[in-house]
Structures are given as C-alpha cells and as structure tokens.
Chain A
Amino acid sequence: MISFEALHAAPLALTAHAPVLMVVGPLIAACAAALAPTARTSWMISVTGSIFAAWMALALLGEVARRGAVDYYIGGFAPPLGIAFHIDGLSVFMALLISSAGVMASLYSGHSLSAEVRAEKHTLVQAGFLLCQSGLLGLVSTGDAFNAFVFLEVSSIGTYALIAIGEKRDRRALPAAFNYLIMGTIGATFYVVGVGFLLAATGTLNMADMGARLATLGDSSVVQAGFAFVVVGLGIKAAMFPLHGWLPGAYSYAPSLISIFLAATATKAAIYLMARFVFDVFPDGAAFGQGFIAWVLAPLAATAAIVCSLQAVFEKEIRRMLAFSSVAQVGFILMGLSLATVAGASAGLFYLGAHALLKMTLFMALGGLAISMGARRLDELAGVARDAPWSATAFAIGAASLAGVPLTLGFLAKWRLIEAALQAGQIWIVAVLATASLLTLLYVGRMLEAIFFRAAPAGAPRAREAPVGVLAPLWILAGLNLWFGIDASLPEKLANAGALALLGGTP
C-alpha cells in the first residue's frame, strides 16, 4: 500500500514554500525560455521548469497527506487582506496531473516542434507553454476567487497564442484561436461578474471565507446571480455542453505539443474550479445548488456524452474526432460529479485523471505520426500501422483505454463511474454511460480499423516511425495506461483524497 504520509520529496526549506514555488518556477522558466538563445536551450529550460513544478507538487502531496491541507499566505499577509493559497487533496490531485502532463508534453516537444513550428518561434512557444502551465498550477492552488481568475487568464492568454501558432501546419488554427479567445474571454468575464456579485454579498474573496459566510447568509438573489454567472463562465472554459463550440477547432489545429497539454489539463482545470464553487463555496443545502446539479449539470453532461460521441462517430478528421470525444468525456466526468456523493466525486476525479492520461497518449501518438506525415483525415492514416508500428500500437493502447477495454485504466474508470451511479441509485446515468460507451467504441473502432486493418492506398507516400525522443514519453504514457489498468491504487487513492477534500466526510 502506498503511503503518502511518508513522502518527503523535497528538503524542508523548499517544501515550506512549495505552493508558491510550484507556480513561480514555471513562470521564471517561461521568462528564461523566451530569452533563450537557441531552440534547444529553451527546450531544456522548459523540461527543467516542468520537472521542477512536478517535484514541488510531489512535495506538497506528502505535506497535504500529513497536515490535511496546506495554507500559504503570499508575502505573509493573512486573509482576508492577503491572498492565500489553499492546497488540499483535490488541489494536489490536480497539480500532480497538470505538472506531470507538463513534463511529458515538454519532453515530447523536443522533436515535435521542429516539424510543426517555424524555428525562430520555438523559444516563444516554450515560454507560452510554461506560462500556461504556471497559470493552471496557480489556478488549482489558490484559495482566492479573484486570484483564480487571474491565473485562469494567464493560462488562457498563453493558450490562445499557442493555438494560433499551429498555423504553419493548418491555417485554420488562426480562426480557431480567435474563436477560442472570444469565447474564453467571455467565459472569464462572466466568472469575474459572478465573483463580483459574491463579493458584494459576502465582502470577501477568499473561497473558504466566502463559503462560511454564504452558509450563514442563506439564499438571496445576489448569491444566485453570482452562482449563475460563475457557473456559465466556467462552463464555457470547461467546454460544458452546449458551450463547447470553441474546443474542437482549438484542439485540432494547435501544434501537437499544445493539443497534448490542453487535452490533459485545460478543461479539467475549469472543471476543478467549477466543482470548488458548486460543492465548496456554495452552501451544501442551497436549493438552487441542488437544483442546478440535478436539473442542469447532470442532463447537460448526459447530452454531451451522447451527442458529442455521435459527432465523433461521423467526423472525418481524426484530431477533430478526438476533440469531440473530449467534450463527450467531459460529460462523463461531470456526470460523476453531479452524483454529489463522495463515491461519485471520486469516480469523476478518477475518470478525469484517466481521461487526461489516455487523451495525452492518443494526441501524442497522432503527433508522432504527424511528424512524418501531416495526416488530417482518418483515411490518410490507412495502413499506417505497417510503417510506424510503435506509434500505432501506443495509439491503440490509448484508444483501448478510451473505449474502456478491460486491463486498461479507462475500463476501471468506467467501472467506478457506473458503480458510483448505481450506488447513488441513478439508473438513468448508468444507461447513458453504457450508451455513450458503445458510441465511443464505434468511433474508436473506426480509428483502429483505418490504422491497422485497412491497406494504405497505392502510391501513397510511406510514413516513418517517430523518433525515439517522441516514442519514449509516448510509451511511458501508454505503459501507464496498462499499468494502472492492473493496479490503480495510486490514482484511486489520489481521487479519493480529492473527493473527500471536496465533499468532506470520511472515506
């Protein structure tokens, strides 16, 4: 059995400041990467910065397990005046997810960027990538609602630029990035307006304080308006159906480094913040919160799971298929959270982690194939398995995990979700899950059939196997899909701790 309590990943002096170092580390690295003289140096800075953040996240994991939660006052000013970082089991779960996704993506970027982005832009891409990472890590660490907005936008602005830079390979990246910018900014602004209402009602920005005061204040139209604005704003950022229009383009046309990182983290961080507000900040018994979960969140999540899976089934471009699949899978995650039980939240978080891992695997494998051939449509990938067996096999593992084939992490994630839904007595969610899983199987089958079983069209140029620098992180991810499929105690423990932090209660 793994014991997080015994984990002392970093020296005490560092651990004491780990919350802020985790965020500032990549931020400083971003500046350094922007100023780096060569692409290679910037890549090394990017890897170092990401590894440093992951290291700090690990240090925090032990600390949170020992102390329950870590509060860090920026500059020593205690709230309500100062800004506090509040790191509990859920934050650590997200921070580990984001930082390890960052490490994998940055390792991978050494080879992929040169194929996808003009050489002189590499330093800036790495800087933007680190900025984005820093913003997301800050978002999951902070205990201050407005500070969360700032971090959200730090990461988003980095993301807009990074998506746009995919134009070298596909100029549709530009309108996609623009669209995302518009939608993302509207979402963030809605969030700010919502926070403004809450500030007016409670007079504080600290989320814990806010929660405590809302519990005594009770229901009011100001609070409800704040709730609505926050949820809609974050819903856009989280690509919650039907606010997901920006996502397929953004994921599909970005450089693969960015697709990989975004698929694993961006919407997930917004889901995190939404869960914080819905379960932590707003009073547990509030009728509007309950009503929202039962009559808005769950039905929308279910619709997303079905409709977007269908869209993926009929899509022709493979990266767009994966993007639609992501929206559908966000639906799965939200269905888990909407059960509003510890088991449901834990299953939702487990699914969130599993989906991050497997989507990274898929996008990275595609990226590996795309280095030698800029395939867009599914039929261009016909027979690729013959020429690039390692990338194709890793893709197959990721796809199996997505479809929920036994002995992969994805299967256990579905298992936990269905179990939680049955325990909560929500039979209809089980039915939706099963149907959506079937649809998932359909489009996964389409992908695998093209890659493995169809012959390459005559005269088509041959693909090349991806270089080792790509295969190494790719196979680490694929291997984790399989390893966690057999022993998932680590993600399970992390997800349970996260769910407990979110909903309270005993395991």
Chain B
Amino acid sequence: MNTGELLIFLALVVPLFAAAAIYAVGRMPDVRETLTIVACIVLSVITISIFMRVGAGDPPEWTVAQPLAGLEIAFRLEPLGALFALMASLLWGVNSLFSIGYMRGKREANQTRFYMCFALAMFAVMGIAMAANLFTLFIFYEVLTFSTYPLVTHAGDARARKAGRMYLTILVGASLVLFLPGIIGVQIVAGSTVFTPEGLLPGRVDDVTGSVLLLLLVFGAAKAALMPLHGWLPGAMVAPAPVSAMLHAVAVVKAGVFVVLKVSAYIFGADLISTLPAATWLLWVAAGTIIIASVIAMTKDDLKARLAWSTVGQLAYIVSAALLPLGAGLVAGGLHMLVHAFAKITLFMCAGAIYVATGASKVSEMRGLGRSMPIVFSCFLVGALCVVGLPPFAGMWSKFLLITAAFGTKEWITAAAMIVSSLLGLLYLAPVALRALLQPVGDGSPRAFIRPGGAPGPVVAAVMMTAAACVALFLLADAVVAYLEPMTGSVR
C-alpha cells in the first residue's frame, strides 16, 4: 500500500473507527466527546495532506474491490473532491465543538447515537468526496442517507418521525428511481462510470440519450434539493441544530451539489453539456428554484425554516453553475459550494446558540436580543452578508463569478434569478441580525436567558471560528479558484 492508498484508507477508516469507538465508550460522555474531537483533528490532518498532494499534481488513488466484472469500488482524488473532503472534515471539527456545547446545554437524550451517526455520516462524505466512479459514489451516497436518518429523527416524536419518513422517501426514492437507473445507463452507454477529465460520455451519446441521462442524474441527486425534490430539506429542520448546521448546510446538501458538479464536469464534460437541451431546461428549473425558494424564505418566521429555504435557493445556484454552457460556472460553483458551507453553518450554529440560550426559534421573538448576545448576532450578520454576497466576505467572489459566468454564456434567466434572489436574501437574512442588534428594545427588555450564562462557551467559539473563516476566504478566494481550475479540463 503506497502513501496515496494509505491516505485514502485512513480517511475512510478514521471516521468509521471513531464511530465504533464512540459506541464502545458511550457511557463516558467526556471520553466520547474527546474521541470525537480527536477524530476530527486526525481526519483534518489526513484531508489536508490529501489536499496538498492533489494540489501538487499527485492525486492519491486506490482500487479496493471489483464486485462485478466492469464495476469497481475505487477512489481517486481530483481538486473538487479534495476541497470537499477538506471542507467537510474541518467543519466536522468546528461542528463537534458546537455539538458538545449544544447537546450538553440542551441535555439531549441518545447522545452516543448522535455522535456515532455523525461519524458514520463523515465516513460516507469521505467516500463520496474520493469516489473514482459513479458506482462507488452511489454506495456512499446511500450510506450518507441512512446514517443521517437517525439524526433527523433524533427527537423521536411524531413530527420527527414524519419528517424522517419524508427524508427517506424522497432521498432514497429519487436515488432508486432516478439516480441508479441513470448510473446504470451511463455504465451501459460508456462501459464504465469512471469520472474522466473532459467527460466520459462525449462521442458516446446522442442528444436524447444524453438528455435523459442528465435529467436522471441531476434529479436523482435529490440531496441537491432541486425543485420539486426539495421537500425533505425544510422538513429535516426538526433535527437538533448541530445536525441542521452540519448536515443540512454542509455534508448532505453539499454532497448533492457535489454530485451534480462532478457529473457535469467529469461524466458529461463541458462541451457535451453545452449541446444538450436538457441542460437548458434544468437551468430554468434551477432559476425557478432560486426565486421560489427565496420568496418562501421571506415568509418564514421560524429562523431555521428560513435558513433551510435559503439553502434550497443557494443550492440551485450551484446546480445552475454546474450546467452553464462551456463549463463556465464549474469553478464558481465549486467556490460557492465552499463559501456557502462556511456561511450557512455559521447561520445555523447562531440559530442553535440563540435557541439553547433563550429558547427563541422565531425571528419575531428575537427583537433586541442582540443586546444580550452581541457576539452571536454579529457572527450571524457576517454569515448573512456572506450568503448574500457583499464584501468583505467570501460570498462576494463566488456570487460575482457565478453571475459573470451566467452573463458570459448569455443565460439571462439564470443571471436575473441570481441577482433578484441576492436582493431578496438581503431582505430576509440581514434584518434578522440588524433588528436584534440595532433596534431599540420596544416594550420592555429582550427575552431572558433560559440557560444561566447564555450560550455555552464552545458554541460561541464555534460560531466565531466559522465567521472568521467567511472573512478569511474573502482573501483566499483567488487561491481556491486557481486550485479548482484543472476541473474545467485543459480547454481553458
């Protein structure tokens, strides 16, 4: 086993081992949580070295097994996957810190299962990020669904179970009915499902077959929450805040758009995408999703619901980016995936911090709360402005690149949808923080803390870390863009 194979092996085994160890020491919360943090750090070190190797042009690869003739369980890194793995493992660390504060602060039940499923979900994310072909990717994609199901239904009440059922039905249903036939279709047309630079399918499909496959694969990746397969995401908000933060801003939804980006770049290739009529239809669907989700987000009083709808819209940005002609949006899409992850996790963690400190979950209950929780609401403002795309936050670069790409390829509808939705975003996200921070307390004092001392220390620390990252990425965006450049193929 060479170093590259070893790195891949470790990236998979560390979260898996962490899950087993967490189960074993479940009765000792301190040991359990220390273990989680240690696993996050080890995994981050591994993904950083993988990231470095990919950057240096020496991507690790490893073929594990061949279940059937022509089908391989194999891993191979490329820039987008390395970035995704790195992002997920870093945010897992931050989120674990947050989880410790939140779960203890809320005295939640079944915490061992919670941490275990989280580790399993990370195992799945690593597999998705490193997969060398659609077959391997599909395996881990399903593992991700099943390992996050217990997290969604964590509360165990009727509402959570209902949301869990919808979660499973939509995600598994789409992957069985659409994604799997799509993958098998690719296998039949191309003889393999390997992610190939410049695309696997060019020259092997006509317009009709290509369009059908594209529709199957993009809608099949229902984790990308493209309408009309978005219903599971707002529903999944019944989960505890760390789950919403990590999974429904980072791991699960980003796995969905990651698949769309990968499929676009490495299965179809930029040139083929430009010629397929289905790509244009999907762009319209995505534009519709962007607008509709933003409008719905405006009407939501529940903060987490508002954030979830905002996520639906932002995911559609990345789907649009993936499908723009000539691969113009691929890099911007990758950047937006990264930036939005940091910004949205900040927002969700802030929502969690507010909830654990004051019990407030509705925007209307948060008037003047900024007076008592200035750090958390400042960080919320940072996250909000980053999502909207204002300087000096990283969101500005990704939005700028996205809209430029849309204009550059003359996709006016997409460009218009993006601009309009950014303005709407400013209307429904920023005021949450601004009202809490600026508006004088109307009648009486803000809501009292239900927990003495407000939000727990680890929670606030975690929020500050990701908010800082939103600013840091503003400066690093150029480097990320350069790193992702190989994805678009050698044409440019």
- The interface of chain A, by Cβ under 8 A from chain B, is 404-407, 411-412, 414-416, 418-419, 422-423, 430-431, 434-435, 437-438, 441, 445, 453, 485-489, 492
Contact = CB atoms under 8 A, between A and B. Distances in A.
Interface residues of B, number: 25
B155 interface: no
B188 interface: yes
Contacts of A445: 168
Contacts of B184: 415, 418-419, 422
Interface of B: 65-69, 71, 73, 138-140, 142-143, 146, 150, 168, 172-173, 176-177, 180-181, 184-185, 187-188
Contacts of B150: 453
Contacts of A406: 138-140, 142-143
Nearest to B178: A434
B188 A419 contact: yes
A486 B63 CA distance: 12
A415 B142 CA distance: 14
A441 B150 CA distance: 16
Contact of A434 (B181, B185, B187): B181
A485 B172 contact: no
30 contacts: A405-B146, A406-B138, A406-B139, A406-B140, A406-B143, A407-B139, A407-B143, A412-B71, A415-B68, A415-B71, A416-B68, A418-B181, A418-B184, A422-B181, A422-B184, A431-B177, A434-B177, A434-B180, A437-B176, A438-B172, A438-B173, A438-B177, A441-B176, A486-B65, A486-B73, A487-B65, A487-B67, A489-B66, A489-B68, A489-B69
A486 B74 CA distance: 12
Nearest to A435: B177
B142 A492 contact: no
Given A415-B71, A419-B187, 16 more contacts: A404-B176, A407-B143, A418-B180, A418-B181, A422-B181, A431-B177, A434-B176, A434-B177, A435-B177, A441-B168, A486-B65, A486-B67, A486-B73, A487-B67, A492-B68, A492-B69
| Chain B at the A interface: SS class | helix
Contacts of A411: 139
Contacts of B69: 489, 492
Contacts of A418: 180-181, 184
A430 B181 contact: yes
A423 B188 contact: yes
A48 to B, nearest CB: 34
Nearest to B185: A422
Nearest to A423: B188
Contacts of A415: 68, 71, 180, 184
Of A405, A415, A416, A485, chain B has the most CB atoms within 10 Å of the CB of A415
Of B138, B150, B184, B185, chain A has the most CB atoms within 10 Å of the CB of B184
A305 to B, nearest CB: 14
Contacts of B65: 486-487
Contacts of B181: 418, 422, 430, 434
Given A406-B142, A435-B177, A437-B176, A412 B185 contact: no
B244 to A, nearest CB: 21
A438 B179 CA distance: 13
Contact of B176 (A416, A438, A487): A438
Given A412-B67, A422-B188, A405 B142 contact: yes
A407 B184 CA distance: 16
Nearest to B142: A406
Contacts of A486: 65, 67, 73
A121 to B, nearest CB: 43
A486 B72 CA distance: 9
A430 B150 CA distance: 30
Of A406, A411, A431, A435, chain B has the most CB atoms within 10 Å of the CB of A406
Of B69, B73, B176, chain A has the most CB atoms within 10 Å of the CB of B176
Nearest to A415: B184
Contacts of A407: 139, 143
B150 to A, nearest CB: 8
B120 to A, nearest CB: 13
Given A415-B180, A415-B184, A419-B187, A488 B68 contact: yes
A285 B150 CA distance: 54
Contacts of A430: 181
A412 B67 CA distance: 8
A406 B67 CA distance: 11
A376 B187 CA distance: 43
A441 B171 CA distance: 12
B239 to A, nearest CB: 15
Given A415-B184, A419-B187, A487 B66 contact: yes
Contacts of A423: 188
A399 to B, nearest CB: 12
Contact of B67 (A404, A422, A485): A485
B164 to A, nearest CB: 10
Nearest to A419: B184
Nearest to B143: A406
Contacts of B180: 414-415, 418, 434
Contacts of A487: 65-67
A481 B143 CA distance: 17
B365 to A, nearest CB: 33
Contacts of B168: 441, 445
B67 A488 contact: yes
A419 to B, nearest CB: 5
A410 to B, nearest CB: 12
Nearest to A437: B176
Nearest to A343: B188
A485 B66 CA distance: 10
Nearest to A440: B176
A434 B175 CA distance: 10
A43 to B, nearest CB: 36
A489 B69 CA distance: 7
A445 B68 CA distance: 27
Contacts of A416: 68
Of B66, B67, B177, B181, chain A has the most CB atoms within 10 Å of the CB of B67
A422 B69 CA distance: 17
B9 to A, nearest CB: 15
Of A404, A412, A414, A418, chain B has the most CB atoms within 10 Å of the CB of A418
Contacts of A414: 180
Nearest to A486: B65
A489 B146 CA distance: 27
Nearest to B177: A434
Ordered nearest first, which 6 A-B pairs have the shortest CB separation? Answer: A406-B139, A434-B177, A406-B142, A419-B184, A488-B67, A486-B65
A441 B67 contact: no
Nearest to B73: A486
Contacts of B66: 487, 489
Contacts of B177: 431, 434-435, 438
Nearest to A441: B172
A453 B156 CA distance: 9
Contacts of B187: 419
B185 to A, nearest CB: 6
Contacts of A488: 67-68
Contacts of A453: 150
A437 B146 CA distance: 16
A437 B173 CA distance: 9
Nearest to A418: B184
Nearest to A416: B68
Contacts of A438: 172-173, 176-177
A400 to B, nearest CB: 9
Contacts of A431: 177
A492 B67 CA distance: 9
B356 to A, nearest CB: 26
Nearest to B136: A406
A138 B337 CA distance: 62
Contacts of A485: 67
A3 to B, nearest CB: 15
A431 B212 CA distance: 14
A117 to B, nearest CB: 38
Contacts of A404: 176
